[in-house]
Amino acid sequence: MAELGNPQNTIAVLQKYNFNFQKKFGQNFLIDPRVLEKIIEAADISRDDFVLEIGPGIGTMTQYLCEHAREVAAVEIDKNLIPILTDTLSGYDNVEIIYNDILKVDINRLVQEKNQGNSLKVVANLPYYITTPIIMGLFESHVPIDSITIMVQKEVAERMQAGPGTKDYGALSLAVQYYAKPELVANVPPNCFMPRPNVGSAVIRLTRHNEAQVQTADEKLLFALIRASFNQRRKTLVNGLNNAAGISYTKQQVVKALEKMGLPANVRGEALTLEQFAELSNLLLLYSGGEQIG
Ligand code: SAM
């Protein structure tokens, strides 16, 4: 089977199978070999690696992954793509095509079966509308992951990397940075895809921290505080937490914690670093004497 990472061969495959793009699955296929090579290089795939590819499409990147990895599992939700993948990947014996929604796959089991529970690498050109649930699902499920190298909407890549006090800083920045170190690999313009998306894209690599970067006694509380702070961005942190469903600390407790941290009572959530959110969670637990999220 011919290499797919160019427009002619991609068109030939699409015509052979009379394939219709499905907007609901965010189908924009990569047609630029330079971008594909960059993704493989950034993901640092070697013959030791077991790789999970989310949304292989017609198998363009999958072919590259099969060339470099020990084994690849490619999870695709569109059943019309399964016969195409079977064809385009017929030359490789180190790939399993899994017809499923990635959000329903038991990745822990997959890793046990395919990689004896050792860390896997995730590579994906994601449908943009489910980027956040996929990434957070992977991290929160505590699947052993070495790195996630993904194509996302450019603005999402910027949010993942943002620091305190910037307009892009938010719950996604903190959640990603809690688990991983984000590094921008490349900006990718719309003409590298077929069909062209109407937004700019970027490849970002998230390398999972080996050790926790901050100490929190209650991870759930930490994330509840982060979400509540950014849900009401224009409010002060004290008022944001006071109005948030599921968080039941008093204003006095929050002000006392901020004071202890040397922060003014009118500080906004967007000014706090991850370390400060962790400290806040620990102080609130201390003042309330236990679990307080409902
Ligand atoms: N990797 C291919 C490429 O780079 O050319 C295709 C990328 S395309 C942006 C996204 C792919 O993810 C599509 O093939 C789409 O059908 C698939 N997809 C969408 N939602 C999915 C889900 N929940 N689980 C698995 N695959 C999904």
73: CATH = 3.40.50.150
- Chosen domain end from 208, 234, 252: 208
The answer to whether residues 181 and 45 belong to one domain is: yes
Answer yes or no: do 180 and 254 share one domain: no
* Atom 18 of ligand 1, nearest CA residue: 55
SS3 117: coil
Q: Is 55 in the pocket of ligand 1 (CB under 6 A)?
A: yes
The pLDDT value given to residue 2: 60
Same domain for 227 and 172: no
**Same domain as 65, residue 144:** yes
The pLDDT value given to residue 199: 93
Q: Which residues of 185-196 are buried (b: 16+ CB within 10 A; e: fewer)?
A: bbebeeebbbee
- Considering the domain architecture, whether residues 42 and 145 belong to the same structural domain is answered as yes
State whether the beta carbon of 253 lies less than 6 angstroms from ligand 1.
Answer: no
Same domain, 150 and 238: no
Domain, as residue range, for 183: 7-208
Atom of ligand 1 nearest to the CA of 102: 24
Provide the pLDDT for residue 19.
97
**Residue 184 belongs to a domain:** yes
Residue 1 forms part of a structural domain: no
pLDDT at 294: 43
Ligand 1 pocket member 240 (CB < 6 A): no
Q: Which residues of the chain have pLDDT under 50?
A: 292-294
Span from the CA of 238 to the centroid of ligand 1 (angstroms): 41
User: What ligand 1 atom has the least distance to the C-alpha of 128?
Assistant: 9
Q: Which of 120, 121, 122, 125 has its CA nearest to residue 203?
A: 125
The reported pLDDT for the residue numbered 1 is 55
State in Å: Cα 57 to ligand 1 middle.
5
Q: Are residues 39 and 144 in the same domain?
A: yes
* CA-based max dimension of the chain: 67
Pair (133, 229) in one structural domain: no
Do 155 and 281 reside in the same domain of the chain?
no
Would you say residue 2 lies in a domain?
Answer: no
3-state secondary structure at position 207: strand
Indicate if ligand 1 lies below 6 Å from the C-beta of 10: no
CA of 200 from ligand 1 middle (Å) equals 17
Per-residue model confidence (pLDDT) at position 13 = 96
Q: Please identify, among 139, 173, 208, the residue that sits at the C-terminal boundary of a domain.
A: 208
Alpha carbon distances (Å) from 61 to 33, 77, 120, 165, 185: 9, 16, 17, 37, 16
Domain boundary among 189, 208, 227: 208
Count of structural domains within the chain? 2
